[in-house]
Amino acid sequence: MPRLPPEPALQWNDSAPRTLAFDDVYFSRDGGLAESETVFLGGCGLPDAWRAREQFTICELGFGCGLNVIAAWRAWKDTHKPHAVLHICSIEAFPLAREDAARALAPFAEVGEIAAKLLARWPVRAYAPQRLWFEEDRLALTLFTGEAETILAGMQARVDAWFLDGFAPARNPTMWSAEVFRQIARLSASDARLATYSVAGGVRRDLAANGFTFEKKPGFAAKRERLEARNAARAVAPAPAPKRVAIIGAGIAGAACAQALSRRGVETVVLEAARELGAGASGNPAGLIMPRLDRGGALSEVFLTSYLAAVAAYEDLGVIDSCGVEERGEQRRAGALTDLLADPPLPPDWFSALADRAALHARAGLVRPREAITAMLSNARVLFEAPVAAIERAGEGWLLRAPDGCVMLKAAAVVLACGAALTQFAPARFLPIELSRGQIEWGPGAAPAHALTRSSYVLSFDGGVLFGATFDKVNSAEAPTADASSRARNLRALAQLAPEIAASIDPNKLNSRAALRAATPDRAPIAGALPDAEVWLRANADVAHGAVPIVSASIPGVYVVGGLGARGLTLAPLLGEEIAAEICGEPQVLSAKARAAIAPARFLQRALKRR
């Protein structure tokens, strides 16, 4: 399968697209918007079903031009509770180009403003889920690219309303397979509703087989009938989102969690041991946002998705300088880069070939961490000189204790986001955090047009250059200081990467900074609910004999985000969003497989297998 999702072949009848592959239309020629409202909103009892809700989730099969999403968005704007959040998850195997969607949506002037907002943030054609937040409307749209069956199998969500809008079942059977309906049942809230224009016998049979009751209703325009269905299970109220969350650490990881929680209206308190922002690795004057592109595996989704999320987040905050990054093939990675360029995971305006086996990441760039962190923390309460020594369960929540034992704060949930200090906390002690010292240099020099990377990097900074970084394993979590031998190594690496830039530099005019990175042995970050290691190991002892682990043994209300290594700026926005969604019981962006690859419990699982 190619790494880039296929675009659909379209035939146009004025502004109405028709797919050649399935020989069907995207929406009714008798009024696409009215069809969305009658069949999908009406069919799921919307807007009434969300009026009293703090949080509501729609999942659509077949995003197409986004017309159903726009119809739901318009209805939501006028009818939601003040602080409520609407999640719309939509799945698409053949993503339309922005220009095609714009052409298809042009006739619907009554929703022109919403369509323009959607088109301005149109998802990048890539196999990477993308969550677009429209905060002013309290709406999060998550677009999943891929086969419906595969995407649903990896989804973690509790869906209140389903829009089944594949092409006609007889022509597009994979969209209506028995497995699709099994997954729908797995993901449905106990009182979920479901709507579709199709009353095909197979659809009704699969709904009934999966615990849905249904009714035929008069169809839209020329269609005689449509279907409304309900999950027949008894309603169970979801746990409410926590009122206050404490985040330990005001680096980029903590700041991204704080931003994601505060946009949901959760009171967020960030506790930082240092006197001001930027004490750790996030204190460097600038850092690169660029992707790690893998050729496959669960982590490729994590890194690709986080890159797209990071560019979107920093563009939104206005803190990225999109200078582009030229990746020059490292000896050991040259084959991989050539292979990726031959079958790229991103479209050419994001990733393209340059001469000499190099690649250009045109949307990658430079971020000043302090600026990004300050913007992300704008709606959180930040306490400086507030070192937390321990966390302690108290009733339904957690107490945070200072080194003298005094209670600093009580919160419903705690996120440990304190980089090198993570394993100071007893429940996180099992995490194999590896520390390394990294030094960078900056000062006058001939600035490159794009940032350049191989194993080291150089970028244009403050009219000069910034380059680095060293990598030395250390055992102590004490803040390091810059030294001359690291500077000499950085200069040697620069001379290899870009001799012309190295020649323009006067080493005596350079500034240096050293900081600690916290990474993991598998070079993947850690994000998720923290398991109770002892309970987990006991409950999942059978893993050692090949059984699948089923007991999460999470400590209620304790989450961790860490081990971001040298990729903190790129990973943090997505991981912050994942943690916030998990805390609030909302749909996750990443697939279950990708989440397992970054879950804290993976280290326990490996330990068991080794026994």
**x-or-dash string of contact with ligand SAM, 218-247, rule CB under 6 A:** ------------------------------
Binder of ligand SAM out of 3, 5, 16, 27 (CB under 6 A): 27
Among residues 400, 435, 377, the alpha carbon closest in space to that of 572 is found at: 377
Report the nearest approach of ligand SAM to the CB of residue 301 (Å).
Answer: 17
Span near ligand SAM by CB under 6 A; candidates 122-130, 166-174, 429-437, 487-495:
166-174
Span near ligand SAM by CB under 6 A; candidates 161-169, 226-234, 301-309, 462-470:
161-169
Q: Which is nearer to ligand SAM, 157 or 447 (CB)?
A: 157
- At 214, the amino acid letter reads F
Report the nearest approach of ligand SAM to the CB of residue 533 (Å).
Answer: 39
- Let me know if 293 is exposed, middle or buried by CB neighbors in 10 A (0-12, 13-18, 19+): buried
The Cα–Cα gap between 529 and 555 comes to 7
Determine if 172 is a binding residue for ligand SAM (CB under 6 A): yes
Span near ligand SAM by CB under 6 A; candidates 62-70, 266-274, 542-550, 573-581:
62-70
Report the nearest approach of ligand SAM to the CB of residue 595 (Å).
Answer: 21
**Which residues pair with residue 56 across a beta bridge?**
86
The Cα–Cα gap between 137 and 83 comes to 10
Q: Which is nearer to ligand SAM, 196 or 470 (CB)?
A: 196
57, containing H or E segment: strand 55-61
Binder of ligand SAM out of 115, 140, 175, 519 (CB under 6 A): 175
Binder of ligand SAM out of 129, 166, 365, 528 (CB under 6 A): 166
Binder of ligand SAM out of 3, 4, 5, 8 (CB under 6 A): 8
Report the nearest approach of ligand SAM to the CB of residue 222 (Å).
Answer: 15
Report the nearest approach of ligand SAM to the CB of residue 167 (Å).
Answer: 5
Subset of residues 141 to 160 that bind ligand SAM, contact rule: CB under 6 A: 147-148
- Let me know if 311 is exposed, middle or buried by CB neighbors in 10 A (0-12, 13-18, 19+): buried
- The 3-state DSSP composition of the chain as helix, strand, coil percent (nearest 5) reads 35, 25, 35
Among residues 386, 391, 393, 397, the alpha carbon closest in space to that of 426 is found at: 391
Determine if 35 is a binding residue for ligand SAM (CB under 6 A): no
Reading the block at residue 150, the tokens are 């595969």
- What is the layout of strands, in order, in the sheet containing 10-13? 10-13, 16-19, 24-25
Report the nearest approach of ligand SAM to the CB of residue 210 (Å).
Answer: 18
DSSP 137-174: GTEEEEEEES-HHHHHHH----EEEEEE--S-TTT-GG
Going by the DSSP 8-state scheme, the letter that residue 500 receives in this structure is: H
Span near ligand SAM by CB under 6 A; candidates 165-173, 238-246, 409-417, 567-575:
165-173
**Which residues pair with residue 140 across a beta bridge?**
87, 133
Q: Which is nearer to ligand SAM, 64 or 568 (CB)?
A: 64
Q: Which is nearer to ligand SAM, 66 or 249 (CB)?
A: 66
Strands of 335-378, DSSP E: 351-354, 358-361, 365-367
Q: Which is nearer to ligand SAM, 64 or 251 (CB)?
A: 64
Q: Between 112-120 and 98-105, two packed helices, what is the crossing angle to 10 degrees?
A: 180
Q: Which is nearer to ligand SAM, 169 or 397 (CB)?
A: 169
Subset of residues 63 to 102 that bind ligand SAM, contact rule: CB under 6 A: 63-68, 91-94
Span near ligand SAM by CB under 6 A; candidates 56-64, 289-297, 535-543, 568-576:
56-64
Q: Is 310 helix (H, G, I), strand (E, B) or coil?
A: helix
Report the nearest approach of ligand SAM to the CB of residue 92 (Å).
Answer: 5
Report the nearest approach of ligand SAM to the CB of residue 69 (Å).
Answer: 7
The Cα–Cα gap between 566 and 287 comes to 9
Q: Which is nearer to ligand SAM, 40 or 351 (CB)?
A: 40
Report the nearest approach of ligand SAM to the CB of residue 473 (Å).
Answer: 45
Binder of ligand SAM out of 4, 26, 58, 131 (CB under 6 A): 26
CB-nearest residue to ligand SAM: 64
Q: Which is nearer to ligand SAM, 170 or 354 (CB)?
A: 170
- Count the site residues for ligand SAM by CB under 6 A: 22
Q: Which is nearer to ligand SAM, 113 or 542 (CB)?
A: 113
Report the nearest approach of ligand SAM to the CB of residue 514 (Å).
Answer: 49
Integer angstrom CA distances of residue 336 from 61, 155, 288, 331, 358: 34, 29, 21, 10, 11
Contact call for residues 560 and 530 (beta carbons, < 8 A): yes
Q: Which is nearer to ligand SAM, 105 or 497 (CB)?
A: 105
Contact call for residues 225 and 216 (beta carbons, < 8 A): yes
Among residues 253, 280, 151, the alpha carbon closest in space to that of 580 is found at: 253
Q: What phi and psi values does residue 563 have, to the nearest 5 degrees?
A: 65, 35
Give residues in contact with ligand SAM (CB under 6 A): 8, 26-27, 62-68, 91-94, 147-148, 165-167, 172, 174-175
